[in-house]
Amino acid sequence: MIYNGLLDIADSYDVFLFDAYGVFWEGNGFYPNSREVMAELVQQGKTVVIISNTTILHDDIVKSYVKRGLLPNRDYNYIYTSGNLLRKNLRAGNIRFNSCPNPHKYYVIGLPHKKAFADTNYKQVNTPEEADFVYCGVPFMFAPDVEKYPQYANEYWPICLDENGEVERWDTLTPAPFAEIVQKIAALKLPALNANPDFTAKEGHELVKDSAAVFVVRNGTIAQMLRTAGNEVLEYGKPHKNIYDFVFADLVAQNVTIDKSRTCMIGDTVRTDIKGAVNAGITPVLCVNTGVTAEEINNGNSVENLCKAQDIALQQVIQIKSVGGK
């Protein structure tokens, strides 16, 4: 059975954990009625929590959603990011790899994360050869990369201008330009740290006139390339239990009662959101008409096969068309 919207099952739960992209946010706007449903749950006295696989830290993500019209205490109660879990472990010096128990120097693929690493014992270096480990930043493309791989020019989407009005960073629809650095890091057998296990994200691009939101490469893709090459990868975020333990501990500290039988996770991705809910012992709720799963169904996959690939029984998963039921 596929329910129309989230309110059809709301009476069965007290705590609602929401993924963001593909659930209530499409990349360049809110899905129809999604924000209103979240606000209705808050008004009913439910606990509405956003858990996002993004490296953006708490205060910055709150500000970004306020600009979009999603307001704390009206549309949700709490928000957590895998970036905050990363920051907590960096500050505590808890980064440990089997192949490197006491790392200090890191090399960045993609965008550096100065806020997460600020005032920690970890130092960024300029070459992989100097590093103890690799940090998988947001895999944006920069001018030298774009010039080096012109064959993928149609798959780069400009996202940021410099002070002269020139494009400074691009999103990419293909991970191909990262293959060279992955091969180099694989040869060095460097372990990798990643705080966004998502393979893709659907993003709108304001600098591309009349563009619809498209799926672009995200950190999890680079981490998976390294994992496939044989590198050790340490990850924070869904589907890993660490993000749920982090969230539940903080909620309990704020006097929120967590009864896992009455807690659900609403997501659009079986590999991260649904698998994460199963790992955490809470009810998985899958949006089948939005986000990643909608795209996978359009490409010929089925929810049953997506679940089977993650060793999840289809009967474990509650399916809804969308949060807003449209």
SS (H, E, C) 175-242: CHHHHHHHHHHHHHCCCEEECCCCCEEEECCCCCCCCCCEEEECHHHHHHHHHHCCCCEEECCCCCHH
Q: Can you give the pTM of this predicted structure?
A: 0.94
Considering the domain boundaries, does residue 92 fall inside one?
Answer: no
The residue behind tokens 């996002």 is 52
Q: What is the dihedral of CA 319, 263, 116, 275, to 10 degrees?
A: -40
Q: What's the total number of domains in the chain? A: 2
- pLDDT at residue 69 in the model: 96
Residue 319 sits at φ, ψ, to 5 deg, of -110, 135
Task: Give the model confidence (pLDDT) of 2-43 as tens digits.
Answer: 999 999 999 999 999 999 999 999 988 999 999 999 999 999
Domain around 116: 97-235
Query: Is residue 181 located within the same domain as residue 261?
Result: no
| E-state strands within 218-305 | 233-235, 263-267, 283-287
Task: Give the model confidence (pLDDT) of 151-169 as tens digits.
Answer: 999 999 999 998 999 999 9
Query: Is residue 102 located within the same domain as residue 228?
Result: yes
Residues of the chain with pLDDT under 50: none
Query: Is residue 231 located within the same domain as residue 107?
Result: yes
- pLDDT at residue 242 in the model: 97
Q: Look at residues 235, 266, 293 and tell me which one is the last residue of a structural domain.
A: 235
What's the CATH number where 70 sits? 3.40.50.1000
Query: Is residue 118 located within the same domain as residue 191?
Result: yes
Considering the domain boundaries, does residue 91 fall inside one?
Answer: no
Considering the domain boundaries, does residue 326 fall inside one?
Answer: no
Considering the domain boundaries, does residue 249 fall inside one?
Answer: yes
Enter the tokens of residue 208: 């591309």
- pLDDT at residue 206 in the model: 85
Query: Is residue 69 located within the same domain as residue 118?
Result: no
